[in-house]
Chains A and B, each alone.
Chain A
């Protein structure tokens, strides 16, 4: 607004062409400069180097007994790692896709069927489901149960009943060795 006015003023006076050029170019420089200054002030809100350094973690899974599960903290959220029993694997693999709200085969959700790795955050409104500890309620499908609003997950962490729209999220991970997985 102010800028155009300057130019209009300029046009009524002499040496219009050269003046217009240098004045416009100066304003352009100022604009570029302002943007260049604004960026660091915004980018500082992105995760800092020490935060990013913890964005991927190594987890030792060799000590998890069959049928047991551990919870590790990754990027501020709980990650469930379950060493599944043969029964759990079989029941997870034999589900009819038609019964699923968010159809996904068990194979799509695991790298090694013995270990199920997923983010333990209910996809409904972000509560942490029960089912990790031996005494926990595991829900109607022998997996996890979210006590906040009653979502039931099966032994593959898929949503079977309740308000949650999606299966429990599988984080990016890989087996660094047979005993160690690297999450993130």
Chain B
């Protein structure tokens, strides 16, 4: 990349010494992107924008928030009532957490379906799972800050998970609390960490992007791009497509903020925290419900905690569990079926996590939890051995243009791939 590319002399001067413009031009402008990406590829950029929205509104909220057990709830109400546009900013932040998770979940399921975790993108995937973990920690600590009943009891229940660790569990919990129960020191450190972690996420996101740009985006066909005829420059083709996706995302987001701001919250969190009284029915935020269901499905305390963390840990090793060389689920008839069963399983876990832990719900939770692990640990490894994939097209351009030409060539590719 030569600096002569830029007509503006100031830009040229800077770029010669600090090639930031060349870098941006290379990675955001001319960056070759497969031309056949569908709308599920919008969710990566949407996740990035969600992160920016959360950080911007979060920094602003921190200017009016007081991390003290006596003032936290009141300071949030002051934001809602007295701070200029405070109610808007807080509702954006509050609903933003949910929308961030919606976007990231869709992004993950897209990766699962189209095999975006497969070679050579294993590290890209692992960094993504790391982002998910950091997001969960950040969201959990953020939910504690308003210091309502759900904040307090959520913090109590989740931090108590660590007491399941043999021998040192209780000491770890005391360390996390900074006392003998969730109290002011806990709130203070959660605020500090809630402010810190989004910037760690930004760091991992940058690595995620570096890894992405090493081999470029996967695509719905799942085969590698074979040349320039298969790609388009990122700008303007995908900037405008991402912008269109963003408009739709913002429309849904705004509808929630302005018309149903408390739909995804819980009424009990508008009651100030009371360490003497647990609400009748406590549930975590909806995005934790599947994991909560897994936790409760195992009748053993340590076992439940291990299963819950295992549900995420298994994603780290996914690239080595699914050995099939075919990336896209479109060409894997059996995988496709099991993928959708898995989606239903996750939805079911989410539903069960919100139900009381009694009767039929317990049984169903156990079945759904078993299936979750079965999918990753047994079905995927097995499928890569027994499944006969459909013929792959020869190149992206061929498949984009359609036509009979590809049918003949496809079988040859299949031979090669297998």
- With contacts A40-B89, A44-B84, A48-B86 taken as known, whether A2 is within 8 angstroms of B60 at the C-beta atoms is no
Contact assessment for B82 and A48 in the assembled complex, using a CB-CB cutoff below 8 Å: yes
Q: Is A178 on the interface with B (CB-CB < 8 A)?
A: no
CB of A2 within 8 A of CB of B243, answer no
A18 contacts B by Cβ under 8 Å: no
Q: How far is the CA of A10 from the CA of B240 in the complex (A)?
A: 13
| CB 8 Å contact bits of A6-17 with B (1 = contact, 0 = none) | 100110000000
CB <8 Å contact, A49 and B82? yes
* A90-129 interface (Cβ within 8 A of B): none
Contact A46 B236 (CB under 8 A): no
What residues of chain B lie closer than 8 Å to A5, measured between beta carbons? Answer: 29, 235
Q: Which residues of A contact B243 (CB under 8 A)?
A: 26, 30
Q: Which residues of B contact A35 (CB under 8 A)?
A: none
- Assess whether B229 is interfacial by the CB under 8 Å rule: no
**Binary A-proximity of B50-87 (CB < 8 A = 1, otherwise 0):** 00000011001001100000000000001001111110
Provide the residues of chain A in CB contact with B83, threshold 8 Å: 44, 48-49
The residues in A between 11 and 46 inclusive whose CB is less than 8 angstroms from any CB of B are 23, 26, 30, 40-41, 43-46
Which residue of chain A has its CB nearest to the CB of B60?
A41
Is the pair B88, A48 in contact by a Cβ cutoff of 8 Å?
no
Contacts of B8 in A (CB 8 A): 1
From known contacts A6-B236, A30-B243, A50-B78, infer whether A44 and B86 are also in contact, taking CB-CB under 8 Å: yes
Q: Is the CB of A49 within 8 A of B81?
A: yes
A38 → chain B closest CB, angstroms: 9
Complex: how many Å from CA A138 to CA B101? 66
| A6 interface neighbour in B56, B78, B88, B235, Cβ under 8 Å | B235
Check B11 for interface membership: any CB of A closer than 8 A.
yes
User: B87 to nearest A CB, angstroms?
Assistant: 10
Q: What number of B residues sit within 8 Å (CB to CB) of A?
A: 21
Q: Which of A26, A44, A50 contacts B85 (CB 8 A)?
A: A44
**Contacts A1-B11, A48-B64; is A43 near B85 (CB within 8 Å)?**
yes
How many residue pairs link A and B with beta carbons under 8 A? The number is 49
Partner of A45, one of B63, B78, B240: B63
Chain A nearest CB, measured from B232 CB (Å) = 11
Q: How far is the CA of A23 from the CA of B243 in the complex (A)?
A: 11
Q: Which of B217-249 contact A (CB under 8 A)?
A: 235-236, 240, 243
For B56, the chain A residues whose CB sits under 8 A away are: 41
Tell me, in angstroms, the Cα distance from A23 to B56 when the chains sit together.
Answer: 27
Query: Contact string, B115-135, partner A, CB cutoff 8 A, digits 1/0?
Result: 000000000000000000000
Pairwise interchain contact B84-A43, C-beta atoms closer than 8 A: yes
Cα separation A169 to B100 with both chains bound (whole Å): 52
With A26-B243, A48-B82, A50-B78 already in contact, the answer to whether A40 and B88 are too (CB < 8 A) is: yes
- Distance A23 CA – B244 CA, assembled complex (angstroms): 12
Given A1-B11, A9-B236 in contact, is the A44-B89 Cβ separation under 8 Å?
A: yes
Question: Whole-angstrom distance between the alpha carbons of A113 and B229 in the complex?
Answer: 88
Does A50 lie within 8 Å of B82, measured CB to CB? yes
The answer to whether B78 and A40 touch across the interface, beta carbons within 8 angstroms, is: no
- Give the residues in chain B near A48, CB-CB below 8 Å: 64, 78, 82-84, 86
Q: How far is the CB of B5 from chain A (nearest CB, A)?
A: 10
Once bound together, how far apart are the Cα atoms of A50 and B83, in whole Å? 8
The smallest C-beta distance from B190 to any residue of chain A, in angstroms, reads: 23
Cα distance A41–B240 when bound, in Å? 26
Q: Which residues of B from 190 to 217 have beta carbons under 8 Å from A?
A: none
Query: Distance in Å from the Cβ of B325 to the closest Cβ of chain A?
Result: 38
Given contacts A6-B235, A6-B236, A41-B89, contact A46 B57 (CB under 8 A): no
CA gap between A146 and B35 in the complex, in Å: 74
Measured CB to CB, the closest approach of chain A to B227, in angstroms, equals: 21
Contact status B11-A46, CB under 8 Å: no
Q: How far is the CA of A9 from the CA of B30 in the complex (A)?
A: 12
**Contact B57 A2, beta carbon cutoff 8 Å:** no
| Residue ranges of B at the interface with A (Cβ–Cβ < 8 Å) | 8, 11, 29, 56-57, 60, 63-64, 78, 81-86, 88-89, 235-236, 240, 243
Could you name 8 residue pairs across A and B whose Cβ atoms are closer than 8 Å? Answer: A1-B11, A26-B243, A43-B85, A44-B84, A45-B63, A48-B86, A50-B78, A50-B82
Q: A residues bordering B, Cβ < 8 Å?
A: 1-2, 5-6, 9-10, 23, 26, 30, 40-41, 43-46, 48-51
Closest 10 CB pairs of A and B: A40-B85, A49-B82, A48-B82, A50-B82, A48-B83, A43-B84, A6-B236, A44-B84, A41-B60, A44-B83
